[in-house]
Structure 1
Amino acid sequence: MYKEVRKIHLIEEVLKITNEGTLSELETVLRKSKRKSAAKKKKPSIYDFVGILSGKEADKMKSIIEETCEIIPSSRGLRHNYPQTVSS
């Protein structure tokens, strides 16, 4: 509730402003604050990582992934030997 009271008080103070420069400064501060908030909420995309890896590093990573994928056995066609239960 305290936050809401602070907001109302701030609105009252803004309504009392007569100086155009002060009003412009407040608008600038609010715009910057909105941009910072939007930047924090933004999910990273692949484009945020462009240029981080060199071509050599990317090739190395690709080969590691390919080698690792060959190690993982496929579950297709595998027979599972579950213990047999005896029913009476």
Structure 2
Amino acid sequence: MVTEARKLHVIEQVLKIKNEEKLAAIEDFVSRTLKKQKKEARLESPFQEFVGIWSEEEAAEIENAIAESCETINPDDWK
């Protein structure tokens, strides 16, 4: 219940703000905080944040590099 009282206190303080810049700063902070919480909740693994950062071309280039170097078996390497 202490958390709920704190939330109400913050709301009361925000209602008293007359300065538009301060209100915009608080809105920005709340927005960024909520986005961060959503992002953290979505993360299933430490690498999840990197999903989708490559373009289609970059992904194809990496895939080709892996196929050419990692998926090629050289019979002489076993000797």
**Fold equivalence (TM over 0.5):** yes
CA distance in 1, matches of 2:23, 2:43: 33
Q: Which has the higher helix share?
A: 2
Q: What CA deviation, in whole Å up to 9, does each residue of 1:27-74 have, x standing for no partner?
A: 0000110110011011446x72876886144x38xxxxxxxxxxxxxx
Partner of 2:51: 48
Matched, 1:35 2:23: no
Q: Which consecutive residues of structure 1, in runs of 5 or more, have no partner in the other structure?
A: 61-88
CA distance in 2, matches of 1:6, 1:13: 11
Aligned residues: 59
TM-score normalised by structure 1 residue count = 0.53
Higher Cα Rg, which structure: 1
Partner of 1:17: 17
How much identity, in percent, do the aligned residues show?
Answer: 29
Partner of 1:82: none
| Per-residue deviation, 1:25 | 0.1
TM-score normalised by structure 2 residue count = 0.59
Partner of 2:8: 8
